[in-house]
Amino acid sequence: MVIKKKQIVTATLALALGAAVFVNWYYTGPQPQQTLNNENTTQPAESENLGDAQYVSATTGKQTAETLADFKMKRDSARDEAKETLNSVIKDSKSSPDAIAQATESLAIIADDIKDEADLENLIFAKTSCECVVIIDAEVCQVIVGKGTLSQNVSLQIKELVVKQTKIPSKNITIIELKG
């Protein structure tokens, strides 16, 4: 069996893309979630209406409190690493046309996600006056808001903005309030 250059380049691209996805998942991956039912919730938890408030706890074993700036920095560094990996595939003269096309498409998706995140952060601040960090990954959106800003009304407004701007279903939107 002879291994050709295309196969080596494709395998290298797959490994690089897998590493970029892992790094992105590691820094922006799912947070521990816990839905709280309280007297403000008017419908059963099984309902997936846009108006349903979902309170999510983002607690970890760490004693230090992370700030919104920390989350923005982690999100941006993960994206930068993914973009560097994809750009190296595009600039590599040994890359196949298919690999270059896939890398270019992935870069376009990342650019769209970055634009959507920035637009949503600005719109959420304009509508609710609360600072936040938006993380979009495929068909999932996580919104991290500052401590003491999450209420049923704010949650509804955030979900409404995310659904209108990104077409992500409300069941895939998680709103997290910082602790401490």
DSSP string, 11-72: HHHHHHHHHHHHHHHHHH-PPP------TT--S-TT---TT----EE---S-SSPP-HHHHH
> Measured between alpha carbons, how far is 134 from 143 in angstroms, rounded to an integer?
5
Nearest to 70 by CA among 130, 23, 133, 156: 133
Looking at residue 67, its pLDDT comes to 85
- Average pLDDT estimate for 166-171: 90
Per CATH, the number for 5-177 is 1.10.287.4300
- At residue 177, the 3 state secondary structure works out as strand
CB 145 within 8 A of CB 178: yes
What is the residue extent of each domain of the chain? 5-177
For the stretch 121-155, pLDDT in tens is 999 999 988 889 999 988 899 999 988 888 889 99
Which residues contact residue 137 at a Cβ distance below 8 angstroms, ignoring those fewer than 6 apart? 24, 28, 113
pLDDT score of 170 more than 70:
yes
In which element (H, E) is residue 143 found?
A: strand 140-145
Whole-angstrom CA distances from 1 to 4, 6, 41, 59 are 10, 14, 63, 52
pTM of the model: 0.60
User: Can you give the pLDDT at residue 39?
Assistant: 44
Can you tell me the distance from the alpha carbon of 53 to that of 45, in angstroms, rounded to the nearest whole number?
Answer: 9
- The secondary structure of residue 132, as a DSSP letter, is E
The reported pLDDT for the residue numbered 18 is: 87
pLDDT (tens digit per residue) in 23-77: 887 777 665 555 444 444 444 445 556 666 666 655 544 434 578 888 889 989 9
Write phi, then psi, for 144 (nearest 5 degrees). -110, 120
Instruction: Give me the half-sphere count of Cα atoms (radius 13 Å) on the Cβ side of residue 35.
Output: 10
Contact 175, 158 (CB under 8 A): yes
